[in-house]
Amino acid sequence: LSAEKYNVKRKDFATVQSSDVNFFKTILGNERVLTDDNDVTPFNIDWIKNCRGQSKVVLKPKSTQEVSQILSYCNEKKLAVCPQGGNTGLVGGSVPVFDEVVLNLMLMNNIVSLDEISGALICEAGCVLENVDNYVRERNLIMPLDLGAKGTCQVGGNVSTNAGGLRLLRYGNLHGSILGVEAVKADGIIIDCLKTLKKDNTGYHLKHLFIGSEGTLGVVTKVAIHCPVLPKAVTVGFFGVENFENILQLYKSAKSSLGEILSAFEMADRDAISSTVKNLNLPNPISDYPFYVLVETHGSDEGHDGEKLNRFLSKEMESGLILDGTVTSEPGKMQTIWNLRENIAGAGLRHGYVFKYDVSLPQKHYYELVPKIKQRLGDKAIVVCGYGHIGDGNIHINVTVPEYTREVAGLLEPYVFEEVSALQGSISAEHGVGFRKPHYIHYSKDRSALQLMHQLKTLMDPNGILNPYKVLPEEC
Ligand code: FAD
Ligand code: 2HG
Ligand code: ZN
């Protein structure tokens, strides 16, 4: 249990009574109120099986009105609530810690409208990212974000975590792509900021409060998002590289050679790729190298784009920055390459437990921590690997061990955060703070900023019922 593992004390919330369950049933009917242990358990456990809550009830609203009624009731009764999307979050934010009511948005999965001229899509928060992406692709558009969890994560979860992903480099982060949000505050009041306008400077930009606040300020119920045009030509290159310094040189060169068509620049070290190949039995289209780079282009002219990427490959093989590589526009082959990259996150779980660090660092220091951690842990770790969105300065460091131990946790934390802070980095680049990191947030946020966060929380959720024990540190 998370509470015991991380030594957290339950706050003074009410406990769900049978009268509460009956009330929920009057709003949702019997089927959408889960109370059976077997039904509730999966909603209590997070994706990496690190956090486990003790909720006794899961609610599945189908409309904003239902969310509003539920929250208004819980606020009055002082029942804590854990908003939940696809439960793919990696920082323990999506599962309860104690007996919080789980409010799962999965049944709010309708697409509301799409303006094919502007690319403005409105959908309910519980839509699965991949489903929405497929829907807009049929209409010559794409979602501006993509991530390995796309088949399960929900758009509302993406917004609430300000998810980054594989193409942030090209399409920017969600603070830029989200045109509007509808959200319900802790007291049940519906905040309608669901505009589809590109320009709207009418006062405070309140939608941003809900982007990345991880369910602590409100429950996102609908989202308006700007979808870019489906690229006519997509090309993927996968390259072997000798050392990290060469990756940086390659990145600089890719920006200049590929210019506006560059849509992803990802890296992975040998251990990340070889353990994914081994654990999940996936093919590696090139042979074994110390580092790998995945470059993707999104453009409008297949011949032209493919030629550009092939020219880049030849030039950099000649310069020695690329040791070997492959470039393809065949959908199946591109998928094989992306599969290898996207599955790194899950591959380590086959060894037992994975400590995951998701940090931003100035690019020249990007890889420094990996060898340091390797040395620090010695044979206590099975694999220490680094991979991620190098174009965005965001590295994922995964440390796999047979099982979670306090000893290894103590060697890693706060060490990793101290190192990141010393390099002026961020201790959470894209996954958020959740349950795992509130007590480390000060490594990346100063006191006055944390105080303002607390003031906002008190203003928007005075009883603190929304996702307690998450994001905000107890003291600042
Ligand atoms: P959940 O995990 O259910 O919830 C995440 C947080 O948001 C929780 O705090 C929850 O309380 C809150 N929340 C969820 N829905 C709502 C709502 N409607 N209203 C208010 N609060 C809500 N993340 C990245 O940024 N980039 C990546 O590349 C990436 N790749 C991943 C790959 C894999 C294989 C996996 C498993 C995860 C990956 N993630 C990545 C992390 C995760 O998928 C994202 O954080 C995602 O946005 C979470 O969406 P979700 O619907 O699963 O939310
Ligand atoms: C990715 O980029 C995800 O693959 C997951 O953000 C990272 O699991 C991780 O460490
Ligand atoms: Zn990532």
For residues 242 and 339, membership in a common domain is answered with yes
CA of 196 to the centre of ligand 1 (A): 23
- Same domain flag for 205 and 281: no
Shortest CA distance to 56 belongs to which of 41, 70, 46? 41
Q: What is residue 19's predicted lDDT score, i.e. its pLDDT?
A: 98
Distance CA 255, CA 391 (A): 10
Decide whether any atom of ligand 2 lies within 6 Å of the 345 Cβ: yes
Question: Atom 5, ligand 2: which residue's CA is nearest?
Answer: 345
Q: Do residues 221 and 239 share a domain?
A: no
Q: Same structural domain for residues 135 and 212?
A: yes
Q: How confident is the model at residue 388 (pLDDT cuts 50, 70, 90)?
A: very high
Q: Which of 226, 244, 270 is the last residue of a domain?
A: 226
**Which tokens go with 220?**
């996102």
User: 385 in ligand 2 pocket by Cβ < 6 Å?
Assistant: no
Domain-embedded: residue 454: no
Whether residue 139 lies inside any domain: the answer is yes
How far CA 387 is from CA of 98, 237, 325, 420, in Å, comes to 33, 16, 18, 16
Nearest CA to ligand 1 atom 38: 149
Give the percent of the chain with pLDDT over 90. 98
Q: Is the pLDDT of residue 358 over 80?
A: yes
Q: Which pLDDT band, with edges at 50, 70 and 90, does 381 fall under?
A: very high
Instruction: Name the domain boundary from 184, 209, 226.
Output: 226
* 324 shares a domain with 272: yes
| Half-sphere CA count of 225, side-chain side, radius 13 A | 31
Containing H/E element for 226?
Answer: strand 219-226
- What's the pLDDT score for residue 172? 98
The predicted pLDDT at position 461 comes to 98
- Give CA–CA dist 336/342, Å, rounded: 10
Distances 142 to 15, 118, 227, 335, 398 between C-alpha atoms, Å: 44, 12, 6, 17, 30
d(CA 280, CA 266): 20
> Are 129 and 91 found together in one domain?
no
Distance 396 CA to ligand 2 centre (A): 6
What secondary structure letter does DSSP report for 82?
Answer: E
Regarding whether 255 and 163 lie in a shared domain, the answer is no
* 252: in domain: yes
Residue 254 in domain = yes
Confidence label for 102 from pLDDT (cuts 50, 70 and 90) = very high
Residue 240 CA to ligand 1 centre (angstroms): 31
Do residues 41 and 66 share a domain? yes
Q: Considering the domain boundaries, does residue 466 fall inside one? A: no
Q: Which ligand is nearest to the CA of 432?
A: 1
The residue contributing the CA closest to ligand 2 atom 2 is 388
pLDDT of 302 higher than 90? no
**pLDDT mean over 3-11:** 93
Same domain, 123 and 198: yes
281-301 pLDDT, tens digit per residue, is 999 999 999 999 999 999 999
Residue 470 lies in a domain: no
Task: Tell me, in angstroms, the distance from the centre of ligand 1 to residue 362's CA.
Answer: 25
CATH number assigned to the domain comprising residue 431: 3.30.70.2740
Look over the chain and give the mean of its residue pLDDT values, rounded to a whole number.
97
**Per-residue pLDDT for 427 more than 80?**
yes
Asked if the structure places residue 474 within a domain, the reply is no
For position 415, what pLDDT does the model report?
A: 98
Nearest ligand, measured from the Cα of 470: 1
**For the CA of 163, the nearest atom of ligand 1:** 25
Ligand 1: lining residues by beta carbon, under 6 Å: 47, 82-90, 93-94, 105, 125, 147-149, 153-154, 156-158, 160-161, 163-166, 214-215, 219-220, 345-346, 430-431, 434, 467, 470
Residue 460 falls inside a structural domain? no
* Strand ranges, E, within 242-371: 262-269, 291-299, 324-328, 353-360
Q: From the CB of 104, is ligand 2 less than 6 Å away? A: no
Q: By mean pLDDT, which of 2-11, 129-138, 234-243 is the weakest? A: 2-11
Closest CA to 267 of 320, 316, 322: 322
Q: Please give the number of the atom of ligand 1 that sits closest to the Cα of 152.
A: 52
Do residue 208 and residue 239 come from a single domain? no
Same domain membership, residue 336 and residue 367: no
- Give residue 412 CA to ligand 1 midpoint distance, Å: 24
CATH of the domain at 288: 3.30.70.2190
Q: What is the mean pLDDT of residues 42-66?
A: 98
pLDDT of residue 475: 79
**What is the b/e burial string over 253-281, where b = at least 16 CB atoms within 10 angstroms of the residue's CB?**
bbeebbeebbbbbbbbbebbbbbbbebee
User: Is the preceding peptide bond at 414 cis, omega within 30 degrees of 0?
Assistant: yes
Nearest ligand 2 atom to the CA of 348 is 8
What per-residue confidence (pLDDT) applies to 379?
A: 97
Q: Are residues 290 and 237 in the same domain?
A: yes
Last residue of a domain, which of 67, 84, 107?
A: 107
Q: CATH no. for residue 101?
A: 3.30.43.10
The CA 287 to ligand 1 mean position distance, Å, reads 33
Structural domain tally of the chain? Answer: 4
- Using a 6 Å cutoff on CB, does residue 437 contact ligand 2? no
| pLDDT surpasses 80 at 476 | no
Domain, as residue range, for 318: 233-344
Mean predicted confidence (pLDDT) in 210-226: 98
CATH code for the domain in which residue 215 is found: 3.30.465.10
